[in-house]
Structure 1
């Protein structure tokens, strides 16, 4: 049967597909709060029942936290793994919701109908686009599309504490030719996007120690080393006048964006002025010589996340503090090694300490390298063409400024690339009150996965 018959089936069954999504959205699977543990298990069971009804062999797998859902269908073609998560964020503050968060409904908006409810975009609506594509494909062809494993997590919104041990314990079962991840968005409304790279993350925190105790500024003001003043000098020295990180060795492993990829980014519909205005800015303040998208997706950063010390209560206290504190994070790209970056940052700080100052570091903070996919694989171009056909607009390979740890773990633990395709929009209010998912995103997301599977699952 042709893909056209599958797409026709998807169109005809859209109301029923929305009903099934609504049923899943009514389950309050908040993973971070133990009060909802039973509902997380109920959501996992609901998905297992759906997957079994489609012809998968599905079951829940117990973890120290919430259960994983694993489903398998053996068939011809490359072995593909599809990942999503069924847990959702808490709903606070409840008074800002227009309706009950777990009483989803279709609402009409100026931009078309939306599905309003917690989890509609992140990530239940997204994962259901894949299941509904599989359903339509089977209805038309009598079998599921290819050699598939489904892997749904129940702790993504609470730090995934069970994920790494689970991946190690089930490595042989879960390792596939390629992972498909749905927990992403489009770069601009109506512009289908495949994420080919995600920045990594390094966290660091240090304390600059000066005098033995807090000092009276009348007795010691002038002769005393002031940790707040000295830490301010250190922080100012992290960057040069062009916004480039001035830490020796920081850029080891960073690569320039290839011209073809840069061309796609330049024509992806990104509205720089709107992006900046959303944050109350008029110009980009990052590394000079790079576009806003390059700064966001393909360049490393060193950001000051917190800075404090001394008296912070009401009124005034004439004190020179004994210490000052700083929190930083680095976004990593390319082949940057978190351990080497950490060492470089520490060397930089320690080399610029004044006499009588010392520094201590928080040793419990983590780091993970960037996840860079092999977008030269033929599956990426096949998927890009499939998405372009569905959206009647050239699909683009994009970067992501943030981090999606699962993509890195799939690569580092299971040894497989991931292709990240999602249909969310930036205004979906994920993690916030009044979360929504456009009906268009849900509908065309189903059609898109059907086209992608038709191209790569054979």
Structure 2
């Protein structure tokens, strides 16, 4: 636009944020101190995608996130499993029991108070999710699995887009090399992240998980729960917000069809920070595609999408100028 027309139709500020993958821990404090620098009417995020090369999406919600680590400690050193096994608690067993206690057999989280701030989807919201194409057989085939699993009463898409989760990201304890070593480990550890929705808040969820662990910890061991830096509130932007209305108009021009109203199971913490600190919503306007290997060693972005995106952003800025 600057090269071809000499000026921009609206004023623009750029924010390149490098902490998104770790929960943007310093962003809230930084934005709070520099509100005038970031002041704006709307934020536009390029961290988004297309439904396909020929179909656009309107992103209306992102899940929040919190992370924590559980450390179980027993004896002062690793022990011989033949000499001590069966006479004291095994930290690895206790950790496995603690983690198992956090879900019921149907995948519902059993931590007291975990769902207190979750707002049920409206019939209209469920209908909007159902409108988005989803082939469960293809979904499973891509994953190399035979069946889905999750909280009863919800579709697979609803579970991923609009329900909270608690997932174990990693566990370690004792001997992990080849062969056998008859050790009774004195420590066991797990890393957990929770994806949050509606009015759930990271700090409260960490407190609830910590209380659950304390309640279920047997005597004879020390168990600690440590919050991690990863933290972000859930984010929802009204589908009929004026920013979304402009984005939808441009997407109709680009694709020649109505954009799907979608949610994301992932998190972009800065969206909630913009809303809290600046009072502005963020709309998504991106052109990535699902098969481009997000986070993988060979992640890529199609040149055709790069070209399409340039033209579409010019249309978007011009459309914003019309009000």
1:150 matched residue in structure 2: 13
Aligned residue runs from structure 1 range 53-202, under 5 A: 54=2, 139=5, 143-145=7-9, 147-153=10-16, 155=18, 163-164=27-28, 166-202=30-66
8 Å CA contact 2:20–2:269 kept in 1: the answer is no
Specify the alignment match of 1:233 in structure 2. Answer: 97
Runs (5+) with no aligned partner, structure 2: none
Alignment match, 1:274: 138
Looking at structure 1, the residues matched to 126 and 253 of structure 2 have their Cα atoms a distance apart, in angstroms, of 22
Counting only pairs closer than 5 Å after superposition, residues 24-423 of structure 1 correspond to structure 2 as 54=2, 139=5, 143-145=7-9, 147-153=10-16, 155=18, 163-164=27-28, 166-423=30-287
User: What is the deviation of 1:233?
Assistant: 1.3
The change in CA–CA distance for 1:447 and 1:257 in structure 2 (over 3 A counts) is: farther
Greater length-normalized contact order (CA 8 Å, ≥ 6 residues apart): 2
Deviations 1:21-41 (A, max 9, x none): xxxxxxxxxxxxxxxxxxxxx
Cα distance between partner residues in 2 of 1:184 and 1:246: 33
CA contact (8 A) 2:288 2:301 kept: no
Contact 2:173 2:188 in 1 (8 A): yes
Cα deviations by residue, 1:190-243 (Å, 9 ceiling, x for unpaired)? 221121211111111011123343332222222221111121111111111111
Change (3 A) 1:427 1:447: same
> Is the contact between residue 188 and residue 268 of structure 1 (CA under 8 Å) also seen in structure 2?
no
- The alpha-carbon deviation at position 304 of structure 1 amounts to 0.6
Q: So what's the TM-score if we normalise by structure 2? A: 0.88
* Distance in 2, Cα, partners of 1:227 & 1:254: 33
Conserved? CA contact 1:332–1:369, under 8 Å: yes
Q: Deviations over 1:8-50 (max 9, x none)?
A: xxxxxxxxxxxxxxxxxxxxxxxxxxxxxxxxxxxxxxxxxxx
Structure 1 runs, 4 residues or longer, greater than 4 Å off: 156-166
Structure 1: which 5+ runs fail to align? Answer: 1-52, 55-134
Residue 253 of structure 1, CA deviation: 1.5
Native 8 Å contact 2:63 2:265 kept in 1: yes
- Is contact 2:132–2:261 with CA below 8 Å preserved after alignment? no
Give how far 1:454 is off: 4.4
Given the two structures, how large is their TM-score scaled by the length of structure 1? 0.64
Q: 1:206 to 1:365 in 2, by over 3 A?
A: farther
> Following the alignment from structure 1 to structure 2, what is the Cα–Cα distance between the partners of residues 280 and 200?
28
Q: Distance in 1 between matches of 2:288 and 2:51?
A: 9
Q: Are the equivalent residues in 2 in contact too, given 1:261–1:397 (CA < 8 A)? A: no
2:25 touches 2:231 (CA, 8 Å); kept in 1? no
Distance 2:79 2:19 in 1: 46
